Structure 1
């Protein structure tokens, strides 16, 4: 009887501990699709709001906050939502400037943000950081997701923002 109690107690405790964990790989993989998929964006945003603890999780929380603005109707609400995500993202980058995911998120947001938001000053610096540091990301699947995103972005980038063949070769390491 006592053994059953401890087995059940251990199971419940481990379930509670694991319930709040975030699958960062899923958040990263869903990031591009969440731009067009309101339900996916909302689900991931709620998951991140409930349990984001690490710098990378907070970065993806900021990213999904910003993406959520795209799915809102009211322009003033959109702007407020964008600013909320931007503020969170910048605060996390200040604490963790060498976090590759954070720099990728900021690069992607600044690349896609409308010019009237005046949020593009770090694009080139983040681009260079990613070119020289993506290989340091320990998760090969994460590196692949980010690399593919950056490579596909080249089709709409202009001027100095385009990734050269040398940049792409460095990113693919």
Structure 2
């Protein structure tokens, strides 16, 4: 009886606590190259995706990245389309969320052109550049900034401007 009670209490606590954003972000960074990270990210955020647009965005991103890890072209397209629809829904729910816009920007920047998923690239890039200095979460700020500085969707002039505007982030 006591074991059942302990199991129920611990099980309930685990389900009621959202995953930490640090872990979610780390898995996102690895998911493009590691199928296991993508699967773990999907499993981690799925229970919370209906409650929080940010977790829906990460579930969407994980689905889109899983397309990279499967061989069947129909499965690839299924993952991609599902994720695309979910991400659009998350951003529609919370359009001012810079992290969601970063997710879409980074995915569109890396997606092959033949998929035709570049329609928000410039708009998201401009939004992110404009709002980045307002982000209070320094880890998120550094993550986005690091990506902007290496993204092929950011030209050298923009990189220089970004470095000049955000150089204080790199100082201890």
The runs of 5 or more residues in structure 2 that have no matched partner are none
List aligned pairs for 1:134-149, cutoff 5 A: 134-149=132-147
Q: TM-score if structure 1 supplies the norm length?
A: 0.83
Alignment match of 1:42 (pick from 39, 43, 55): 39
Give the unaligned 5+ runs of structure 1: none
1:82 to 80, 83, 86: 80
- Write the mapping of 1:47-86 to structure 2, written as runs, cut at 5 A: 47-52=44-49, 53-86=51-84
Q: Is the CA contact 2:46–2:55 (under 8 Å) kept in the aligned structure 1?
A: no
The 8 Å contact of residues 28 and 41 in structure 2, kept in 1 or not, is answered as no
2:23 aligned residue: 26
Of the two structures, which has the highest relative contact order with CA contacts closer than 8 Å and spacing of 6 or more? Answer: 1
Q: Tell me the residue number matched to 2:164.
A: 169
Shift of 1:11: 9.5
Give the whole-Å Cα distance in 1 for the aligned partners of 2:12 and 2:62: 25
1:104·1:146 contact (CA, 8 Å) conserved in 2?
yes
Residue of structure 2 aligned with 1:117, choices 111, 115, 118: 115
Contact (CA 8 Å) 1:62, 1:88: kept in 2 or not?
yes
